[in-house]
Amino acid sequence: MNAVNIGVISDLHVDLNEQPDEPSIEEALLQVVLERKLDTLIIAGDISNDAIRSIAVLKWLREHSGIPVLFIPGNHDYWSKDNGIKDTWEIYKQFQTYEGCLVERPYALDNGWIVIGNSGWYDYTMGEPGYSIEQFEQMHAMDRTWQDSLYVDWRMSNPNIHRYFYERLEKELEQHSGKPVIMVTHMLTHPFFKVPMPHPQWSYFNAFLGSTDYAELYQRYGVKYGIMGHVHYRKTHNFEGTELICACLGYRKEWRQESAVQEIRDCIQIITI
């Protein structure tokens, strides 16, 4: 089998990062995808603040790159800031109409590897001690509101939607056990990637970054790679044989380079399998 080069990136935030006098973020990403001669691209969520825009970006990248562009929605992708769709499950179903959406649909690469993924969610287990569940359920502290409380409505609690995503991952990993697997979530699956303490605001908001439950799945199913996003870090961590990758483009104010192309070159991680 020939080696396959898979590019990994997340948190493009194309709407917030675009500048009128520069190529779009998706054009910049396309340039890097072509430069690096990638065979597949994985985007671990947060393309934009509107599901319809996020889907349009995915289709554009798929069409212009000519390679599979695999994706799981991030929390921002479930927002509908331009189109006002209130029902998050309706948005969830819209994402599934995109062929590269991994949610409930593991993707088999030509070389026998399987890419399994969904958004994952937060259940407050990444939260720091000293806060109660009731305080986390407020999704508001220190004059800041966690914006998912305004734009996402699963009609169930955060711990329950986490449980839903966890059980789907578990089922799909079981179905493909024995095969080499890349698991993709948007939410953090391991506390290594939390915001380090002490921190004035993240002492509360770490609770909304993911769940400590997911890491056990890597171990139980021998997952080779765990991809995630959400926290706007660029870090890797080897967790007992699973290579964890967080490759977030993040917001322009967090960038170190002048242009999106340069920043994406620094940010993108490449897995060769």
91 backbone dihedrals φ, ψ, rounded to 5°: -65, -45
Check residue 77 for interaction with Fe ion (CB under 5 A).
Answer: no
Closest distance to Fe ion from the beta carbon of 49 (Å): 11
Binding to Fe ion in span 16-45, by CB under 5 A:
none
Token digits for 14? 């194309």
Q: Which is nearer to Fe ion, 31 or 125 (CB)?
A: 125
What track of x and - describes contact with Fe ion for positions 223 through 242 (by CB under 5 A)?
-------x------------
CB of 218 to Fe ion, least distance (A): 20
Q: How far is the CB of 4 from Fe ion (least distance, A)?
A: 27
**Number of helical (H) and strand (E) elements in the chain, helices listed first:** 10, 12
Q: Which is nearer to Fe ion, 151 or 221 (CB)?
A: 151
Binder of Fe ion out of 17, 40, 75, 269 (CB under 5 A): 75
**Which window, 46-54, 101-109, 134-142, 211-219, contacts Fe ion (CB under 5 A)?**
46-54
Spatial contact of 99 and 107, defined as CB atoms under 8 Å apart: no
Binds Fe ion by CB under 5 A, chosen from 15, 26, 39, 46: 46
Which CB sits closer to Fe ion, 74 or 127? 74
In the bound complex, what is the minimum distance in angstroms from residue 75's beta carbon to Fe ion? 5
The least CB distance from residue 46 to Fe ion, in Å, is 4
**Count of other CB atoms within 10 angstroms of residue 135:** 15
- Given the complex with Fe ion, which of 15 and 46 has the nearer CB atom? 46
Q: Would you give the binding string for Fe ion spanning residues 191-230, x where CB under 5 A is met?
A: ---------------------------------------x
What is the Cα 191 distance to its own chain's centre? 16
Which tokens hold the place of 11?
């948190």
Positions touching Fe ion (CB under 5 A) are: 46, 74-75, 230
